[in-house]
Structure 1
Amino acid sequence: MEFTIIQIAEILGGKVEGDGQEKISRLDKIQEGEKGGIAFLSNMKYEPFLYKTKASAVIVSEDFEPNKPFETTLIRVKNAYTGFTRLLEAYAELNKSQLVGIEEPSFIHDSSYMGQDGYRAAYSYIGKNCILGDHVKIHSHVSLGVGVRIGDHSIIHAGAKIYEGTVIGKHCEIHSGAVIGSDGFGYAPQEDGTYKTIPQLGNVIIEDHVSIGANSTIDRATMGSTIIKKGAKIDNQVQIAHNVVIGENTVIAAQAGISGSTEIGKNCVIAGKAGIVGHLKIADNTTIGANTGISKNITKPGQTLLGYMGYDIKEFLKSYALFKKLPELQDKLRELEKKP
């Protein structure tokens, strides 16, 4: 696909400085740009590459002032990073729109329905009583269980498994290897030391504009629903247990784990390898640092928590400053013990 620089500027609402008729067919990094490519400059540590790049166009912010001559054409937008992101979105949408139709062999049960302009890849499976909206993309080796619902413009990537009863909203993206709706970890200990399986009869509800990363798992509820609310973004290899609620626009990084029946507020940030025990409530706008453990309710909104026991960041940094001094304090203590 080729577009002129002027056409791209119109998409971004930007202004062209240079040859607007040159054709663009590729997205480039500014340090690797070649003719026919478009790059962007938002971090000024990359500014020196602007004067060397062979990219045909570079997206810059409105207030950017170059201090050397350059050969490329500029597209000035309000914010260069946001502008380039918009361009990536447009490019991705064009690629997605080309995937329409049915590849064989694939299977859809007679009782299921798929809307207009959808895509079913070869070796995909759609079970009984499923309802898929318009422009839904189902890639190869995807399996949809009985009664799955998927909203318009959602994408299920190769190898994802969606268990029965799962509800997925509009404009969602489920990446490869994700498992949505598997049984929650529910076992009742018995007197003889064995465990009795507790049936998991609920489902998973994923609201609109949610992204689920590769190889992440979201367990179905014991009763009721495990809920991922609108706009949440979940990274790869995240575990979300049964009856958890993830608030709107909360982001969760790789290898984090959230135990059963915990409720996470909206606009929270949970960093990689963080762990949260079950049956807790985490207030809105909470940030939980990497490797942090949370074992109690967080009731005050807007806190940043670090450390194994989830200390407030200010208390954690004070404690860490003392911790670093422990060898020195130990030496002083030994000197004092030697004195008569």
Structure 2
Amino acid sequence: MSIRLGELVDRFGGQLIGSPDVDVTGIAPLSDAGSSQLSFLSNSKLCSQVSQTRAAALILSATDHAALGDLYLGICIIVDNPYVYFARVAQHFAALQAIPADKGVHPTAFVSPHAVIAPSASIGAHATVEAEAVIAENVVIGAGCFIGRGVNLDANTRVHPNVTIYDYCSIGQRVIIHSGAVIGADGFGFANERGYWIKIPQTGRVLIGDDVEIGANTSIDRGALADTIIEEGVKLDNQIQIGHNCHIGAHTAMAGCVGVAGSAKIGKHCTFGGAAMVLGHLNIVDNVHISSGSMVTRSILEPGQYTGFYPLAKNADWEKTASIVRNLNSMRDKIRQLEKTIKSLTEKSS
């Protein structure tokens, strides 16, 4: 399936330099693009690859276009943010080429007669939809999914195969949930009585806003009493753990293997690098950015970039550093004693 460059620019904007009648069939990296594909330059370090590309046209910024000069004289679409433009064009091509899900309920699926299913929804093979669930227009539920009692899936949400959504959780519009995700399992809540663990019932829900994406094998626990809340536009990568009663602000993004302990409250437009950890009951304000592998042990009350880990080193060097860290208290005491001695000697000499 192809589309004219002129149609793309009419739809997504940008300044087209060259013929609007050239047809393109998709989008690809500079090194791989063929003569019928668009490519894009979002990193100035890749300018050297532009002269070698076979792409039909190039998406790039005005700054990079000026810097290239005679290195590239082909068709261009000049935009403010080439990477975002690439993402929107790629979405458009994906939508054009997507195979629509079959509407209705697969013969092997189980749907409770007390569930409400929109006519345009799709329920895949061996899926289960329990009583009181409400499945809105154009929702797609993949094969092997379990949709619990009273779950609400709003319009145009897609649940990929083998997802489990526990009772009474609520999912907004245009949400994407990837395979293996578990929404609404019990939070890790126990009281200790003389060495024995007493389970605390987890009676809250998980509430997920519009346009959220949840990666494969990610778990979001239900609240103990109140709800776990994921606001609109949040993006969660694969294998993330969100503990009970957490509140994740709108448009925050977390890379793979992030762990957030219970009752943490995270603001809007935050980012978390892979394997970052957040302890429970902390508050993190809007626009905080946590580096990969960092451990957040205290609340963060000012926006900015935060990092908390030792640089990688050879094991022998790391052991020496760890030994020094273990002795910091005694070293501090010795320094204080030396400061007192120096002060006393200085006073005597004066």
- Which TM class, normalised by the smaller chain length? 0.7 to 0.9
Q: What CA distance in whole angstroms lies between the structure 2 residues aligned with 1:305 and 1:248?
A: 20
Aligned mates of 2:25, 2:226 — CA distance in 1: 49
Q: Distance in 2 between matches of 1:118 and 1:61?
A: 41
1:123 paired to 2:126: yes
Q: What residue identity is the alignment partner of 2:40?
A: F
CA–CA separation in structure 1 for the residues paired with 2:233 and 2:11 = 24
In the TM superposition, residue 100 of structure 1 has moved relative to its aligned partner by: 4.1
Distance 1:280 1:8 in 2: 45
Task: Name the residue aligned to 2:169.
Answer: 166
Tell me which amino acid in the other structure corresponds to 2:41: L
Is 1:25 matched up with 2:43? no
Aligned match of 1:81: 83
1:140 & 1:276 partners in 2: Cα distance? 34
Within the candidate set 114, 117, 142, 1:114 is matched to 117
Partner of 1:140: 143
- Offset, 1:93: 3.4
Structure 2 match to 1:271: 273
Shift of 1:14: 2.9
* 1:115–1:133 contact (8 Å) kept in structure 2: yes
**Change over 3 Å in CA distance of 1:45–1:292 after alignment to 2:** closer
Following superposition, the deviation at residue 303 of structure 1 comes to: 3.6
CA-CA distance at 1:124 after TM superposition: 2.2
Q: How does 1:175-324 map to 2 (within 5 A)?
A: 175-191=178-194, 193-298=195-300, 300-307=301-308
Task: Say if 1:297 and 1:31 are closer, same or farther in 2 by CA, change over 3 A.
Answer: same
1:21-40 superposed Cα distances (whole Å, 9 cap, x missing partner): 23222221111111221111
8 A Cα contact 2:192 2:198, kept in partner: yes
1:172 and 1:180 map into 2 onto residues whose CA distance is 13
Runs of 5+ consecutive residues of structure 1 not aligned to the other structure: 310-322, 327-332, 334-340
- Contact 2:103/2:119 (CA < 8 Å) preserved in 1? no
Pick closer, same or farther for the CA change 1:116–1:59 going to 2, 3 Å.
farther
Which residue of structure 2 lines up, in the alignment, with residue 13 of structure 1? Answer: 13
- Aligned match of 1:40: 40
Q: Which amino acid aligns with 1:268?
A: C
Q: Distance in 2 between matches of 1:158 and 1:211?
A: 15
The question of whether the paired residues in 2 share the 8 Å contact of 1:54 and 1:72 is answered with no
Identity across the alignment (%)? 31
Shift of residue 56, structure 1, vs aligned partner: 1.8
Q: Is the 8 A contact 1:136 1:151 kept in 2?
A: yes
Do the aligned partners of residues 2 and 206 (structure 1) sit closer, same or farther apart at CA in structure 2, a change above 3 Å counting?
same
> C-alpha distance in 1, partners of 2:119/2:17?
41
| Aligned positions, number | 312
Structure 1 pair 238–37 and aligned structure 2 pair: CA distance change class (3 A): same
**Which protein shows a greater Rg?**
2
1:132-175 residue CA offsets vs partner (Å, 9 max, x unmatched): 22221212222111111011121111221111111011121111
Matched residue type, 1:27: I
Kindly report the root-mean-square deviation, in angstroms, between the aligned alpha carbons of the 2 structures: 2.5
